[in-house]
Structures are given as C-alpha cells and as structure tokens.
C-alpha cells in the first residue's frame, strides 16, 4: 500500500467504473428509511465478542429479520456466551470460530450478507478487507483504520469489490446531534462558519485497572501516541453537519498536545509513587487540541481529553450567520427567533419541531439500548442498507477520512504543529457527490 509520501501510482489504476458502481444513486434508501422495503432476512457474522461486541449483538437480535449465523472470538467462552444469546433469541446456534485468523473463515461463509467487527483496533481493517473481498458488507467499530496504508487499503478494497464498508459511529445518531443536522439542512443556522467538538471523557479507570494493570486503552492510546487517538465520536457529527466528502472536504489541520501528567497522577494516587504504572512515561498529552480548515472556509476546533478528572463533554457547538447551538449547554440562540436578544434559549421547542424522523418514530425503543439509543439507530441503518442493497450512510470515504485524523495529529504534534494536509480519499469525487438528506443519514 502507498503511504502519504509515496505517490499515487497504485491508486491511479483504480477504474472509474468501479468507483461509480460502488457509489451509485441511493434514492431507494431515502424512500424506505422509515420502514423495511422487504422482510428478507439480513444475516450478519460477528467478530469480536467482548463487551462491545456482545452489546451490539443484543441490539442486532432486537431488530426484526436479523439472523446471526456465525460468531468469532479468540476466547472460547466469549464465543459460547454469544452463541447462548443467539439461542435465547430463538435462533439456531451460530457457528463458532476461535482461531486468531478465523475471521477470514467466517467471512467466506456463504450464508452471510455482512460482517460486523468489534475486535481490538489493529484488526478492524483486516476484518473489513476480508469481508469485502468475500462479497460481504462490512461494519466496523471505530477507528476504521490506523495510518495511511490501512486507510487506502479500505478505500481501494471497497472500490475494487463494490462492497460498502460502514464506520459504526454511533455518536452521529444521538438525538441532539440529529436535531441539529435537521436544522442545518433546513437552513436554521444560515451559512456555517465554525464548529467546536471534542472527545472529553475521563477514561483513566479503563486505562489502568482497579488492580493496577494496564488495560488495552493504555497500549492503544497512552503509551505509543502523541495526537488525537479517538477522533471519530467528536468529528463524525460535525462532518455530517458540514457535508464533508459531499460538496466539502477537510483540507488540513494543525495540532498540539499538552504535557502528560494525568495518568501518572492517577497511578500515584491509586497505587503509590513506587507502583510500575506510576513510573511509566506516557507519550499521550493530557489534552490534544487541533484546528481543521475545510475547503469552503469553515473552521473546526477538535479536542481530545481522556486522562484528566472531568465530566463528559463532547461540546458539539455549531455557529452560522443566523445563530448558534451549544451541546455543552444544550441551548440555542437564533437571531430574530429567540425571544431575548443575545440570550441562550432552552432547546425543548426546537427538539419538538426538528427532532429527527427516526427518533420520533423509534425513540422509545432505541432508548433501551446503549449510548442513549444511538447504538440502536446506528445498527439499524447498517441493517437497512444491507437489506435494500444500498450504500451505507457512513461510507468507506467517511471511515477513512474521520479515522486518519489520528495520524495527521501525530504528525503535526511531532513537527511543532506544522499544517498537515488531509488525503482526498474520494480523489476529487467530493466535488460532485451531493449532500445527504435527512432520510439518508
């Protein structure tokens, strides 16, 4: 695969017809998003049956017409637990796979339409590539890829196989995020100029365990990285608000990180100054701050703050010529509409008017699932695309663009915050791809 600096030789061989075939018109999705066009069963294989995989398996089993013929994990008990869950839902026992590369065998099964993965991060791309090469839809937890090579491998495999790959970014389906999207599409904020967002979530307790052991987040985030290691929860909603890859694109970013103190302080407080985790050198700064410039001049401030003591705050602020919304406050101000000049207004009446159609119809069902109901809508959208044989709403170009932020921030941080250009994974198609409508997202 080609890296950022190794040219475009391989990508130039991709045939235009393959690209066009993969990203054909999706009118059928818009017409059927509120109800299944057909009750043809959707058969999904699950790879990675830890806590996240199991949670999403429960969501999948709650959806009408979804069948689970196969599950895979390297830990046999997790496979057995998943099989019991499927049996309890009234379905036949799914075939179990436990080998380290058995996801390839699962992907080759003839009785699957799609493969979903909730494996450790380094397996997201390999599992998706195996799925698409076997003619299956792919759905991956975030991030979808790690670095330029994996990002281009995802994109090129999707184009060459004509198989969609969806980043299962559930935060784009949160109720307030969808309300804002609906308002943006109806022009309520006017012309957009700036957004602010961030993954600001104290995850120290799931980085170092209560027993003082380093957990997977320590290796994936804190010990080998300097930038924003988890950007998609924050950037996904903003990318949809600003039509990224559909008439607009991220051009470049600059990034810097603070010094790293939070995890050492946490370890000293919990386990004492002589504990091994208290003496480690963590490379990830406590707070990473990035600025992104889009092609049409919108600026975006993106934060990453996972290892300081703080309440959760994803910010989700959007500003335009007609007003502003703050997710932190969950309040709004619209010039000429809000009752008091220069004064925040409660969101209630706007939620009633601009609530997303899916939330209006299925909100009471969704709220019983994870992440405030967004897990339900995210997986439902995946199933809907598979059933209707349409493009997924968060496609492979989005998956690569949102995930590559990690690599770009690391490059900028290590080079004194120099600007770093975003790869154009669409190779110019963003200029003609139309913005998604409410019915498509």
In sequence order, what are the beta bridge partners of 44?
Answer: 114
Lowest mean pLDDT, pick from 204-218, 308-322, 327-341, 408-422: 204-218
- Give the residue from 124, 147, 169 where a domain finishes: 169
CATH label of the domain that carries residue 117: 3.40.50.720
- Give the residue from 142, 169, 196 where a domain finishes: 169
d(CA 79, CA 95): 9
Residue 243 Ramachandran class (φ > 0 left, ψ -120 to 50 alpha, else beta): left
Answer yes or no: do 125 and 219 share one domain: no
- Give the residue from 134, 169, 204 where a domain finishes: 169
In a domain, 72, yes or no: yes
Render pLDDT for 183-198 as a digit per residue (tens, 0 to 9).
999 999 999 999 999 9
Is 285 in contact with 223 (CB distance < 8 Å)?
A: no
Answer yes or no: do 293 and 195 share one domain: yes
Answer yes or no: do 135 and 80 share one domain: yes
What is the model's pLDDT at position 133? 98
Answer yes or no: do 124 and 249 share one domain: no
In a domain, 89, yes or no: yes
Residue 11 has pLDDT above 60, yes or no: no
Give me 352's structure tokens.
């009633």
SS3 355: coil
Render pLDDT for 383-422 as a digit per residue (tens, 0 to 9).
999 999 999 999 999 999 999 999 999 999 999 999 999 9
What is the model's pLDDT at position 222? 87
What does the radius of gyration of the chain's CA atoms come to, in whole angstroms? 22
What is the model's pLDDT at position 403? 98
> What is the residue range of 146's domain?
11-169
Concatenated DSSP letters of 67-132 = EEEEEE-SSHHHHHHHHHHHHHTT-PPPEEE-STTTHHHHHT-TT-SEEEE-S-GGGHHHHHHHHH
Lowest mean pLDDT, pick from 232-236, 238-242, 304-308, 435-439: 435-439
The mean per-residue pLDDT over the stretch 71-95 comes to: 98
Is 303 in contact with 199 (CB distance < 8 Å)?
A: yes
CATH label of the domain that carries residue 436: 3.30.360.10
Q: Could you give the C-alpha distances from 40 to 37, 67, 114, 380, in angstroms and in order? A: 9, 10, 14, 15
In a domain, 370, yes or no: no
> What pTM, to 2 d.p., does this model score?
0.91
Answer yes or no: do 270 and 151 share one domain: no
Closest CA to 79 of 116, 113, 46: 46
Lowest mean pLDDT, pick from 16-25, 226-235, 322-331, 423-432: 16-25
d(CA 203, CA 309): 9
d(CA 183, CA 438): 10
Render pLDDT for 268-292 as a digit per residue (tens, 0 to 9).
999 999 999 999 999 999 999 999 9
Beta-carbon contacts of 422 under 8 Å, excluding residues fewer than 6 positions away, are 249, 250, 251, 252, 253, 401, 404, 408
Render pLDDT for 143-169 as a digit per residue (tens, 0 to 9).
999 999 999 999 999 999 999 999 999
Answer yes or no: do 223 and 298 share one domain: yes
d(CA 93, CA 365): 26
**Average model confidence (pLDDT) for the chain?**
91
For the chain, how many structural domains are there in total? 2
């Amino acid at each position: 695969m080609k890296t950022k600096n190794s040219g475009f030789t391989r990508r130039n061989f991709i045939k235009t017809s393959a690209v066009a075939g993969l990203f054909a018109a999706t009118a059928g999705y818009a017409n059927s998003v509120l109800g299944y066009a057909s009750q043809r069963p959707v058969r999904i294989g699950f790879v990675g049956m830890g806590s996240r995989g199991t949670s999403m398996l429960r969501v999948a089993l709650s959806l009408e017409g979804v069948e689970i013929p196969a599950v895979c994990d390297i830990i046999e008990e997790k496979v057995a637990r998943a099989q019991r869950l499927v049996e309890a839902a009234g379905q036949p026992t799914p075939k179990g796979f436990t080998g380290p590369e058995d996801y390839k065998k699962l992907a080759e099964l003839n009785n699957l339409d799609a493969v979903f993965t909730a494996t450790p991060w380094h397996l997201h791309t390999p599992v998706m590539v195996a799925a698409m090469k076997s003619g299956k839809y792919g759905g991956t937890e975030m991030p979808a890829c790690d670095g330029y090579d994996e990002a281009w491998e995802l994109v090129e495999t999707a184009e060459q196989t004509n198989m969609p790959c969806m980043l299962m970014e559930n935060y784009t389906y949160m109720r307030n995020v969808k309300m804002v999207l609906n308002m943006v599409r109806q022009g309520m904020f006017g012309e957009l100029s700036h957004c602010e967002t961030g993954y600001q979530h104290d995850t120290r307790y799931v980085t170092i365990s209560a027993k003082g052991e380093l957990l997977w987040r320590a290796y994936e985030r804190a010990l080998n990285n300097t930038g924003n290691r988890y950007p998609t929860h924050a950037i996904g909603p903003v990318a949809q608000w600003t039509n990224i890859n559909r008439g607009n694109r991220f051009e470049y970013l600059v990034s810097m990180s603070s010094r790293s103190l939070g995890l050492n302080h946490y370890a000293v407080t919990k386990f004492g100054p002589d504990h091994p985790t208290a003496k480690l050198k963590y490379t990830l700064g406590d707070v990473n701050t990035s600025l992104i410039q889009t092609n049409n001049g919108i600026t975006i401030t993106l934060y990453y703050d996972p290892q300081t003591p703080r309440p959760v705050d994803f910010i989700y602020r959007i500003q335009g010529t007609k007003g502003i919304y703050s997710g932190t406050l969950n309040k709004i101000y619209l010039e000429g509409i809000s009752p008091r000049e220069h004064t925040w207004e409660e969101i209630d009446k706007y939620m009633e008017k601009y609530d997303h159609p899916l939330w209006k119809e299925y909100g009471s069902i969704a709220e019983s699932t994870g992440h405030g109901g967004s897990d339900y809508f995210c997986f439902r959208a995946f199933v809907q695309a598979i059933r209707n044989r349409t493009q997924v709403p968060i496609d492979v170009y989005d998956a690569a663009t949102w995930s590559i932020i990690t690599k770009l921030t690391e490059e900028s941080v290590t080079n004194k915050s120099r600007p770093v250009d975003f790869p154009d994974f669409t190779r110019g198609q963003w200029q003609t791809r139309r913005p998604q409508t409410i019915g498509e997202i």
